[in-house]
Structure 1
Amino acid sequence: MAAELYSAHFGFSERPFSLSPDPDFLFLSKAHARAFSVLEYGLMTHAPLTMLTGEVGMGKTMLLQALLRNIDEDITLGLVSNAQGDRGDLLRWVLNALDVALPQDTDYVSLFQHFQNFVVQEYAAGRHVVLIIDEAQNLGSEMLEELRMLTNINSGKDELLQIILAGQPELRTLIAQPQLRQFAQRVTATYHLNPFSRADSAAYIRHRLQQVGGTGDEITAAAISHIHHEAEGIPRSINKLCDLALVYAASAGNTVVGKPIVNELIRDGLILKPAPPLLVLTERVDTSEKAAE
């Protein structure tokens, strides 16, 4: 209700800083534009494996949704998110995403055969299968190796299956393991999204304000600078701070969000941050000969 009230107060058509990924609000910083180009390149070249990584809240899912808006009609798409388990579980996730119905007790060999038949049939019908795995850092080494094996299905000269992986930075660490070197070699294109610069954050905030009918100046430059610092350049954290700052401003009857409002909501403890690592103190033991005496 408070958010709806601030939208009316500022004359916005809707909330400019909702946390839900919405391609209508897509903002392409230089890094995001490059990441999007890498995803498009992967699709266009039928790359077997394309990978996008970045911290939580960096907009990876938003980019994927924007990519799906422009996908060709001859592509059969499957979207898997938060898949976990063993290789048999992975195949069930994949087949479910592709709307391939199977009995519950189907064994692994039958699962693989159903998948292979489906991919080949789609190719024969002039279609190309694309599988998008979101939150791919949750996959273990076994499941990633299974994905690589799936990309081995081909027609002799054409790749019949293309996989796009999106995940947190741990995904890069996982793939760097020696046992996954064959997987890493099949990754044709990869991009890592870093947090916004201060200029990016300012442009991002103004862009979202203007998308809902604002002027872009409803949040002052000083407040934007403070928000960028507190959010550490992470878009989702920027959204949280801006959304609450607009609520605070509207409740006080202000038409502009200044730095004092941002300070106030931070003092009120409305933004949770990860606790710093604990400092462990250990007693130093002197093992020298002098100490022994």
Structure 2
Amino acid sequence: MSHSFSSYLEHFGLHQRPFSLTPDPEFLFWSDAARGAYAMLQYGLATRSPITLLTGEIGAGKTVLLQHFIEEAEDDDALSIALVTNTRPNTRDILQWLLPELTKSDLSEEGKFLKVQEFLIQEYNEGRRVLLVIDEAQNLSPEALEELRMLTNINLGKEEVLQLFLIGQPELRDHVRRPDLVQFAQRVAANYHLPYMKPETVAHYIAHRLKIAGGRSSIFSKQAAMLVYEATGGVPRLINQLCDMSLTYAFAQNEAVVKRATVQSVLDDGIFFAPVQRA
């Protein structure tokens, strides 16, 4: 195709790419599942749940939902939020996530724990509670999860001074159910699993993103949207990828609408790579 990649924007009357792969809260689509997950996060925060779990398959939309939640929560002056997004297997850097200055400290593990306890109590005395949000939490080792549980034991009377939000792939739930983590599991007071989209939801999702980007919600035909669902299994990240390619193909063919045949052409050319989905 000789046309430049971004030229389809003008062709379809769009002011930005509707199907960018980068999570963007502006495009957040409030499906029933997204509303349920968001309500659970709000419930966990409001009830001061020690540990809240949000799980979902890769590309199911956890990150954009979390970004929106944090943007809203940051308006609360009585809340201090620490966000961790670079977890690695067997990580033991839990304490310095809450107090970065501990990276330069030569204190013992016990000394660092006491420092964190002092910090949490100080935040509480100043009218703030602390929320530690860990994305990709399925990468945490059992030792790290146990260390997190010990942190949630720091409280003043009946008041929780630290809450945990753990966001991750489905195996996070399996980790938490391990026999040696029964005490951790008992502290999980709120949890939600974000599923992939159903066929009718995919059609609404595509129309929503087109509208947010300034275009007509009918740029994709119903038949095209159905094929997008069949090819992606309802995974938002894959939907975005296939729809973006389909818009490029439709533009190159000077079509005003993305038809089922357009999407099929993308699939036939083999440029859309869809990983095998879990059952």
TM-score for both structures, normalised by structure 2: 0.93
Please name the residue that 2:71 is paired with: 69
The residue identity in structure 1 corresponding to 2:88 is: Q
- Displacement, 1:86? 4.7
Aligned partner of 1:7 in structure 2 is 9
The answer to whether the 8 Å contact 1:80/1:94 transfers is: no
- 1:83-140 alpha-carbon deviations (Å, 9 max, x no partner): 23656422223433xxx45415443122212211111111010011000000000001
Question: Residues 245, 52 of structure 1: CA spacing in aligned structure 2 closer, same or farther, 3 A cutoff?
Answer: same
1:42 matched residue in structure 2? 44
Q: Return the alpha-carbon distance in structure 2 between the equivalents of residues 188 and 105 of structure 1.
A: 35
Whether contact under 8 Å (1:82, 1:136) holds in the other structure is no
* Equivalent residues, number: 274
Letter in 2 for 1:59: G
Match of 2:38, as an amino acid? F
Equivalent in the alignment of 1:118: 119
Q: Distance in 1 between matches of 2:5 and 2:26?
A: 19
* Partner Cα distance (1:166, 1:196) in 2: 19
Query: Structure 1 pair 246/106, CA: closer, same or farther in 2 (3 Å)?
Result: farther
Give the direction of change, closer, same or farther, for the CA distance of 1:95–1:84 in structure 2 (3 Å limit): farther
> For residue 83 of structure 1, what is the aligned residue in structure 2?
87
Q: Distance in 2 between matches of 1:227 and 1:170?
A: 27
Aligned residue among 18, 23, 27 for 1:16: 18
Alpha-carbon distance in structure 2 between the residues aligned to 1:92 and 1:86 = 15
What TM-score, normalized to structure 1? 0.89
> Can you list the C-alpha shifts for 1:25-79, whole angstroms capped at 9, x where unaligned?
1111111110100001111111110000000001101111111121112111100
SS of corresponding position for 1:208: helix
Which SS does the other structure have where 1:216 is aligned? coil
Equivalent in the alignment of 2:197: 196
SS of equivalent to 1:196: coil
- Structure 1 window deviating more from structure 2 (142-151 vs 246-255): it is 246-255
User: Are 1:30 and 2:32 counterparts?
Assistant: yes
Aligned identity (percent) is 45
Instruction: Report what 1:261 is aligned to.
Output: 262
Partner residue in 1 for 2:178: 177
Residue 141 (1) aligns with residue 142 (2): yes
Letter matched to residue 37 of structure 1: A
Q: Unaligned stretches of 5+ in structure 1?
A: 278-293
For residues 236 and 276 of structure 1, the distance between their equivalents in structure 2, rounded to whole angstroms, comes to 13
- In structure 2, the residue matched to 1:285 is none
- 5+ residue gaps in structure 2? none
Determine which structure has more spread, i.e. the larger CA radius of gyration. Answer: 1
Structure-2 separation of matches of 1:242 and 1:84: 32
2:95–2:102 CA contact under 8 A, matched in 1:
no
Q: Deviations over 1:2-41 (max 9, x none)?
A: 4421112111110001111111111111111101000011
Instruction: Verify the 8 A CA contact 1:17 1:242 in the aligned structure 2.
Output: yes
- Post-superposition shift, 1:270? 1.4
2:234 alignment partner in structure 1: 233
Which is further off, 242-251 or 84-93?
84-93
